[in-house]
Structure 1
Amino acid sequence: MNKRTKRIIIWSVSLIIAGILGYGTYYASSLYNGLEGLQKEGETSPFKELAQVDAKAPEPPKWEGTEPVNILLMGVDARGFEEGEIPRSDSILVASIDPVQKNINLFSILRDTYTEIPGHGSNRINTAITHGPKTAMKAVGDLLGIPIQYYVYTDFQGFVKLVDAVDGVDFYVEKDMKYSSVADKNEFDIDLKQGLQHLDGNKALQYARFRHDKMGDFTRTERQRELIKAVAKKMQSTTSIMKLPDILNSVSPYIDTNMNVNDMWKLANVGYQSKMKGSEQVPPMKLLVEANIGGAEVLTVRNPDTLKQYIQDILNPPETETKTDGSNDTASEQKDPSTDSKSPTQQN
């Protein structure tokens, strides 16, 4: 190999390395800026009008990084609301992540669940966010009996942008879904066909919103959990990770959270290494009781302590004990209260 050829090779390798380092710097900088933009403060916060009210609510517990962490996910329908107005939560979920066991449990909370809203009496759980995110975190944490360290708040458009940013998801729609709303000038009609199909942001939102069947919100919350799992799996793909700065740029205007960049980075690392362990409706069917309170149809919890124990049994299953006959007996084999009762009538 002559000197000229060696020089060409050296220069070529040097340019490739410089390009990689340059892209890496750009990627890291863009990723940091994208993550930083998710946390809104001051005048950019959607909760700026509630700052004084929410300041009275307890501060969420700190996450040290080794103990389980719980994140409240709230989706709202902001159509028709003025800037500064906060609508009731349309979807309420809690993602519980165990960084030691590398497990994720996803809970969806029925929005008509009647519970205490700290500092504001008792009401449906979906009203908690109208008093601020810290109030919502405390209300949900008290209901489930677990600390809520973080929240993520978004509206319909944020969900649409996220699904489009990951180029949609392949998903099986279990039945035909059709609904037309003249009140919305048919802008948010639902029209999906049964079968495996590719859902873009708009179709994914249609699937997540559909509740016009006999089980209403009960089946809708289950569909939402399955769809979120599909989106989360897509987010873990190499292609989506490479596009992460662009994804964050797309969804940032529609999302607010109390996580700082370091929190997000730690959670991203834990989440990427973790597997989805299970997903449940909360409260489970057997613990729900229909009630009319103040002229409003709501869902009350039969026994709040039993609900808290139900959550703990999912997050921390009792250890298996061996019987003398060789069979296994565990508290988790007891009848699941969510499967021992007919569903209450859906309340709209």
Structure 2
Amino acid sequence: MPERRADRAAAATAAPVRRQRRRRPVLVALIATVGSLLGIATVVAVVAATFVGGLARSFDEHTEVLTEPFPTGARPSPTGSAEDILLIGSDSRAALDPDGDHTAGGRSDTLMLAHVPADRRHVYLVSIMRDSWVEIPGHGTAKINAAYSWGGIPLTVQTVEQLLDVRIDHVAEIDFAGFASMTDALGGVTVQSSTDFTARGHHFTQGPNHLDGQQALAFVRERYAFSDGDQARVRNQQAFLRGVFQQALSRGTLTDPGRIGDLVTAMSEHLAVDPGLDVPTIARLGWSLRHLDADDLVTVTMPIDGSGTSPDGQSFVRLNELERRALSQSLRSDDLQRWVDSHGR
């Protein structure tokens, strides 16, 4: 009996040791797994921070900051939490002169107002045709793109603010070479063309067209191939920006850090912005719009009311005054969707 008791006592004291040994590998594995996950998360966080920081540095290093881009004097009041950003596409005419008008100082060939409503449910691009006949402060009536030639960005901003009675919060100017670079950085952009046409050695078919940089440049600049000239060019510019938006939001772009980096570099090298449109501001705006997809980009054009000829022989387009006032009111009240619904896209 004493021997059996001794054996049982020995077994009793040994059993906990064996149970502890069975549990220890599981505990060690759990700790190791958690540690590994935390380590991976830390590495990912560091890599992400480094990548984002690199993008910010690239943007800051390459993007030109405009000096005094806004007009002095009285200006419209801000529209609450909505944001209105004037987008200007231009060139110096030194290297690019597609229309042969040899305008001194260059002209703003593309004018779009990007309206970001307070609810952040859409982004609206309102195109203003370059030949729109408007009042330019200090110069009388003329085509709106002449404002850029006469007074640069400040006069262009002042002209648009007077036209729409809405305050421009930010301004961004991109030269047309940037359209090509941005397209190539995205690996090409697919646009929807409303018709077949040929421009600058490139042929485009009705329907989807996948464009490289040079094709994109020809696509957004052509107007002589169309019977409605500048109206068709505006439609193509809107189609191009929609294609850029779709491609930029695609999985192939968002999951490719190299492509994102190339896009930021390509864009920033041809971009000039007001001092307030810095990386933190862009990041905050982008985060507020993170839920949007390509269908939430709404493109419209300021309605026109025929064409005319100025006393000195310039052909221009006449804006529809009633619709101009209605559009202005919708922008000021941050209710542009109602205006869009009543006019169609």
Separation (CA, whole Å) in 2 of partners of 1:290 and 1:197: 34
Identity %: 21
Counterpart selection for 2:106 from 66, 87, 99? 87
Q: Which amino acid aligns with 2:270?
A: Y
Q: Which amino acid aligns with 1:26?
A: T
Counterpart selection for 1:248 from 248, 264, 268? 264
Separation (CA, whole Å) in 2 of partners of 1:271 and 1:239: 19
Describe the shift of the 1:7–1:56 C-alpha distance in structure 2 as closer, same or farther (beyond 3 A): closer
**Structure 2 residue aligned with 1:191:** 203
Describe the shift of the 1:34–1:86 C-alpha distance in structure 2 as closer, same or farther (beyond 3 A): farther
Separation (CA, whole Å) in 2 of partners of 1:302 and 1:3: 76
TM-score by length of 1: 0.73
Separation (CA, whole Å) in 1 of partners of 2:226 and 2:34: 67
**Structure 1 residue aligned with 2:279:** 261
**Structure 1 residue aligned with 2:236:** 223
**Structure 2 residue aligned with 1:294:** 312
The DSSP-based 3-state class of the residue aligned with 2:64 is coil
Q: In the TM superposition, what are the counterparts of 1:87-236 in structure 2 within 5 Å?
A: 87-100=106-119, 102-130=121-149, 131-180=151-200, 189-211=201-223, 212-236=225-249
Contact 2:75 2:161 in 1 (8 A): no
Q: Which amino acid aligns with 2:82?
A: P
TM-score by length of 2: 0.74
Give the gaps of 5 or more residues in structure 1: 181-188, 320-329, 340-348
| Larger Rg, first or second structure (1 or 2) | 2
Deviation string, structure 1 residues 189-239 (Cα, Å, up to 9, x no partner): 333234433222222222212221111111211121122112112222344
RMSD, aligned CA: 3.5
Separation (CA, whole Å) in 1 of partners of 2:340 and 2:231: 26
Describe the shift of the 1:144–1:61 C-alpha distance in structure 2 as closer, same or farther (beyond 3 A): closer
Q: CA deviation at 1:111?
A: 0.5
Separation (CA, whole Å) in 2 of partners of 1:199 and 1:306: 35
Superposition misfits of 4+ residues, deviation over 6 angstroms:
2-8, 59-64
Deviation string, structure 1 residues 228-262 (Cα, Å, up to 9, x no partner): 11211222234434533332112212100111223
Give the gaps of 5 or more residues in structure 2: 1-24, 97-103
**What is the aligned residue count?**
303
Describe the shift of the 1:12–1:210 C-alpha distance in structure 2 as closer, same or farther (beyond 3 A): same
Describe the shift of the 1:296–1:266 C-alpha distance in structure 2 as closer, same or farther (beyond 3 A): same
Describe the shift of the 1:129–1:263 C-alpha distance in structure 2 as closer, same or farther (beyond 3 A): farther
Deviation string, structure 1 residues 136-179 (Cα, Å, up to 9, x no partner): 11211221232211111111111111122222223333433213
Q: CA deviation at 1:12?
A: 4.9
Separation (CA, whole Å) in 2 of partners of 1:9 and 1:331: 54
**Structure 2 residue aligned with 1:278:** 298
